[in-house]
Structure 1
Amino acid sequence: MRQVAERAGVSAKSVSRVINNDRYVSADVRRRVEQAIAELHYVPNELARTFRSGRDAAIGVAIPDLSDPFFASLAREIEQIARSRGLAVLITSLGNNGAEEQNRVETLLRRRLIGLISTPVAADQSYLKPWQDRIAIVFIDRPPARITADSVVEDNHGGAYAAVQHLIGHGHRRIAFIGDRVTTATTARRLRGYRDALRDAGLAEDPRLIRIGRITADESAAAAVHLMSAEAPPTAVFSSNAWSTIGIIPALQAAGHRTVPLVSFGDFPLAAAIEPAPTVVDQNPAAVGRAAATRLFERIENPRRRLRRQIVLPVPLIARASCCGARI
């Protein structure tokens, strides 16, 4: 770094500011330092920086499942933003077993990171309270429980309400709900949106049309086929997550129910190419990741700044052919 400073004709502190992307560095100083860095093939010694600061030049991301397209896209967006700031991203998968969350997240935190973005899967995140004085924490997709912290979520209730209202508008009165466990905040809010849409339309809820606790695509597929084989089957299906939808559509088609109107909470690759294409509540995982990373760095740089704790992102409905198909 001293050699870079000598060649650029600046102080070592100015070199450090350029490397750390300090906004108060003049354009001329930045140009000279970057030119000297290129000529000398200088790379920062991250290990030395870690020893000086006592922290890794990295943030942590804890999500349920990297194979899930929603969380994969979200993590990719966070990584791109962190990389633009010269930071690495350490990612861990939490799975769906809440009992594992604390151990996996704290294992990540012991790396002495500068920030954490996490999706709650357990019923209690109060174990993170001792960490809050040392590290910026933002929750994504679901709000935390028993701790006050920033979160970035989507309008789960509003999106589900709009989806069911859309089906009702097409004349459907027997609408099935298939989803994950209601202990998951996203599923609970989508189920409430489903129920509120039925109630506001003057329709009685039929408990026989609700299938919850279906975690895997195969479980959701089996639930859909079972519903359609009932004596009084639904005329339409609301799938509360894209993972479930990926299992439901081929299962219904294989069982001869190819034209069952369906709305999915969450789009997925090639969904528009399916015949008939499913209507979707369009989640935007990249926007969630971007908002979460932006908030995390706001907290890191201005820890005492007053900001509203929860950011709720809208989820528009994209109408496709499936809702207008033949009814069972």
Structure 2
Amino acid sequence: LRETRSYTWGLVIPDLTNFGFASIARSLEAHCREAGIQLLIACSEDDPALEQRVVDNLISRQVDGLIVASSGHSDDIYARIHDRLPVVQLDRHIGESRLPMVISDACKATAELVRDMASECGAEIYYFGGLLDLSPSRHRLAGYELGLHRAGLEADPARVRHRDYQPSSGYQLMAELVAELGAPPRGLFTASFTLLEGV
């Protein structure tokens, strides 16, 4: 009480069954444990209303800070929270937020992969993505288009398909594509592990 610290941090991620987020949560938990901090993990299911509830719940438990992979489009709530306790954006950039963030260069990594794929598959590389209002979705799609461009190919909008990041969406997108083509495509980029699992 004298230190006004709880030695806990809150981690808000969309889904613990997503391999990427589960790996991040595991590593963060180990680092926090080594530092004497308890990591409390909550899932938002990419639902902004649920995200707000789990964040409020973590704050009511007096966490010392929040690490959030947000599904929101505005950082107003997090900017107000940040006045009281640290908030770090994880994997996703909320609009034009100036809050601290840790994200990968999804555009660059995707462009390199797609360019390499194009050397074997030509232009027939399909793209399965998630919700375009999430920053990683936009960055990965931009990387797909850039990779094709660097391989000297044009991106065909008919080869770009979107749903959400659930495995069932990957399954449905692939079933529809195989029915349409009569065979699997020569190349396919999925914007998440969960979509790939469905494929």
Task: Give me the TM-score of the superposition, normalised by structure 2.
Answer: 0.90
Secondary structure (helix, strand or coil) at the match of 1:60 reads: strand
Rounded to whole Å, the distance in 2 between the matches of 1:152 and 1:159 is: 16
1:108-150 deviations in Å (ceiling 9; x for gaps): 1122221211111111121122222321221111123343211
Aligned residues: 198
Partner of 2:9: helix, strand, or coil? strand
Q: Is the counterpart of residue 174 in structure 1 residue 120 in structure 2?
A: no
**Kept in 2: contact 1:116–1:136 (CA 8 A):** yes
Q: What is the rounded CA distance, in whole Å, between the counterparts of 1:240 and 1:204 in structure 2?
A: 19
The match for 2:40 among 54, 69, 90 is 90
* Equivalent of 2:77 in 103, 127, 139: 127
- Is 2:196 the counterpart of 1:245? yes
Instruction: From 231, 235, 238, give the equivalent of 2:186.
Output: 235
Whole-angstrom distance in 2 between the partners of 1:79 and 1:197: 35
SS of the residue 1:177 aligns to = strand
Equivalent positions of 1:1-328 (< 5 A) are 51-231=1-181, 234-248=185-199
Distance in 1 of aligned mates of 2:101 and 2:110: 20
Partner of 1:320: none
Q: Which runs of 5+ in 2 are unaligned?
A: none
Structure 2: distance between partners of 1:239 and 1:171: 15
- Aligned-residue Cα RMSD (Å) equals 1.8
Q: Which runs of 5+ in 1 are unaligned?
A: 1-50, 249-328
Residues 16 and 22 in structure 2, CA contact (< 8 A), matched pair in contact too: yes
Q: Distance in 1 between matches of 2:29 and 2:142?
A: 33
Contact 2:47 2:71 in 1 (8 A): yes
Q: Secondary structure at the match of 2:152?
A: coil
Cα pair distance change 1:125/1:241, threshold 3 Å:
same
Given the superposition, is the C-alpha separation of residues 210 and 89 from structure 1 closer, same or farther in structure 2, using an over 3 Å criterion? same
Shift of 1:192: 0.6
CA contact (8 A) 1:125 1:145 kept: yes
Counterparts of 2:181 and 2:171 in 1: how far apart (Å)?
18
Whether contact under 8 Å (1:99, 1:122) holds in the other structure is: no
Identity of aligned residues (%): 26
Separation of aligned partners in 2, 1:131 and 1:184: 21
8 Å contact 1:138–1:151 — kept in the other structure? yes
TM-score (norm 1): 0.57
**AA partner of residue 187 (structure 1):** S
Counterpart residue identity of residue 162, structure 2: I
The structure with the largest alpha-carbon Rg is 1
What is the alpha-carbon distance in structure 2 between the residues aligned to residue 171 and residue 231 of structure 1? 15
Q: 1:86 to 1:210 in 2, by over 3 A?
A: same
